[in-house]
A and B are shown apart, each in its own frame.
Chain A
Amino acid sequence: MSPLHSARKWLDERLGWDDLIAPLRKKTVPTHRLSYWYFLGGITLFLFVIQVLTGILLLLYYRPGANEAFESVQYVMTQVQFGWLIRSIHSWSANLMIFTAFAHMFSVLFLKAYRKPRELTWVSGVILLFLVMGFGFSGYLLPWNTLAFFATKVGTEITAQVPVMGKPLMIFLRGGEEVTGATLTRFFGFHVAVLPGLATLLILVHVLLVQRLGMSVPPRLEVEWRANPSAKREMKFFPNFVLRELMAWYVALGVLGALAAIFPWNLGLKADPFAPAPAGIKPEWYFLFMFQTLKLIPPRVWFIDGEVVGVLAFGLVGLLWVLLPFFESDDPSRTKRWITGFAVFALMYVAGMSVYGHLAK
């Protein structure tokens, strides 16, 4: 008996291993011309794992603190062997992960995969997207460079616009009235402890829900397959789909490695709290659509502050976004057109505003 075989037998006798993985053996994945979109969630998960691994590596040298953070990142990038590469991979992977998470979300939206019984998968997914953006926001400050400093100043100032809760929330985030070393300490804690804990838990829930409920099929196809079960096409999850997914991960790794090596992330200048903000300062691209919207809102709308209107509107849209599946019909032949319209509008708005924000002076 091979060692692998006996190890499996050992586990099976104690844990009922075969029963445990039985659902994975039986699991199938529907095959149709839009099946490729099923890979995006897995790629996002893969990039998250890369983030955890490179994040742990960066922790070996990083020191939080206004006097040390910038210097320690500089040390990683100039003294530690391949430090520049590890940091570059962490930054690129973060950006790619946010991109694939957005792409995954919109693919789910357009394929209407959020419908009954998968409402909770959607809810957990949208909350995960918010967490990922929180990772981006908190991680951006950690090198303590000028851009990060002002991005955090502006970002936390925006939270202060929320009525009633805003000001205390801002002070909680900043660890005081201003963005200082105390803010850095907090953001570091959020970035390496709080958010990873929450995200890991939610990813577990999200993936378990996907495993439990199986892959969704677009509504038109679902109606078709229900009427004519012989038209149904599917492949086994293991090994057929898993191997394809692994290839997708491999490609993602290749793209990531190439980007990180060819376009290494730079560090910028050390933050100086008493220097004026540099011209053309902008947040990271995934916050750009919100940033640009806030810039376009007039200072006073009717009798309310423009910023307050913007923040409230985004809050409301965010809430609506989380609850979107609950507005959808349970019947695949009568899905709501307006949700698709809303999704198209949202995608155009986010993409358009991001490009506008990028080009705007």
Chain B
Amino acid sequence: MSTRSQGMADGGGSPSPPIVRRRFVGVLLGGGFFATAIAFIYPVLRYLIPPKASDLGSDSVVAGRVGELKLNSGKIFRFGSRPGLLIRTASGEYRAMSATCTHLSCTVQYRDDLHQVWCACHNGTYDLNGRNISGPPPRPLEGFEVQVRGEEIFVRRRRES
């Protein structure tokens, strides 16, 4: 290649060596290809990121109706796109918390025999305040506020102070 470049230089009688011209064209072409690749790959990468699902906005949902739950029982309700757990304790109090186990995200349930929240996947247990008390769960379940208004039981996320 060098001999050919040399030959062209001699033949053309150009003062600048052709190897510079060659590199210039190479950089131009390579840069063009590179820019094109970026222009096509960038939208594809952005496309791959799923748009955020709208979390149904509200921070408060109706989790159930008064009288629906017996004493010492629990039910799963929808809180946005995630499940929540509403419990009526043996003393008649309502408690609500996230039903997503903090270990590996299984959905937990209320065990009336244990009076505890239990995760079937890896035998984790939480107390009625959502505190992790045995098994693998590393953190407590997120607790929600419960308000009884008329016939409906509202559950809302706790405001961070």
Contact = CB atoms under 8 A, between A and B. Distances in A.
Q: Are A and B physically bound partners?
A: yes
Interface residues of A, number: 13
B56 interface: no
Interface in A238-283: 250, 253-254, 257
B46 interface: yes
Contact of B47 (A80, A253, A254, A257): A80
Interface stretch (A23-31, A82-90, A180-188, A224-232): A82-90
Given A250-B36, A253-B36, A86 B51 contact: no
Interface string A72-102: 0000000111110110000000000000000
A79 B54 CA distance: 11
Contact of A79 (B40, B44, B48, B51): B51
Interface in A39-94: 57, 60, 79-83, 85-86
Contact of B43 (A60, A85, A253, A254): A85
Contact of A81 (B39, B40, B47): B47
B114 interface: no
B43 A82 contact: yes
Interface in B35-65: 36, 39-40, 43-44, 46-51
Nearest to B53: A79
Given A250-B36, A253-B36, A86 B49 contact: no
A57 B47 CA distance: 8
Contact of A57 (B36, B39, B44, B49): B44
Secondary structure at the B interface, as helix, strand, loop or mixed, is helix
A80 B44 CA distance: 11
Contacts of A254: 36
Contact of B50 (A80, A85, A257): A80
A223 to B, nearest CB: 36
A254 B40 CA distance: 10
Contacts of A253: 36, 40
Nearest to B51: A79
Q: How many residues of B sit at the interface, in one of the four size bands?
A: 10 to 19
Among A81, A86, A254, chain B packs the most CB atoms within 10 A around the CB of: A81
Contacts of A81: 43, 46-47, 49, 51
Nearest to B39: A257
Interface string B66-103: 00000000000000000000000000000000000000
Contact of B48 (A60, A250, A257): A60
A28 B138 CA distance: 68
A132 B36 CA distance: 28
A83 B50 CA distance: 10
A254 B33 CA distance: 11
A86 B36 CA distance: 16
A86 B43 contact: yes
Contact of A86 (B33, B39, B47, B50): B47
Nearest to A82: B43
A257 B46 contact: no
Nearest to B44: A57
A85 B47 CA distance: 9
Contacts of A85: 43, 47
A80 B51 contact: yes
A57 B50 CA distance: 12
Interface of B: 33, 36, 39-40, 43-44, 46-51
5 contacts: A79-B51, A80-B50, A81-B47, A82-B47, A85-B47
Interface of A: 57, 60, 79-83, 85-86, 250, 253-254, 257
Given A86-B47, A250-B36, 5 more contacts: A80-B51, A81-B51, A83-B47, A85-B47, A86-B43
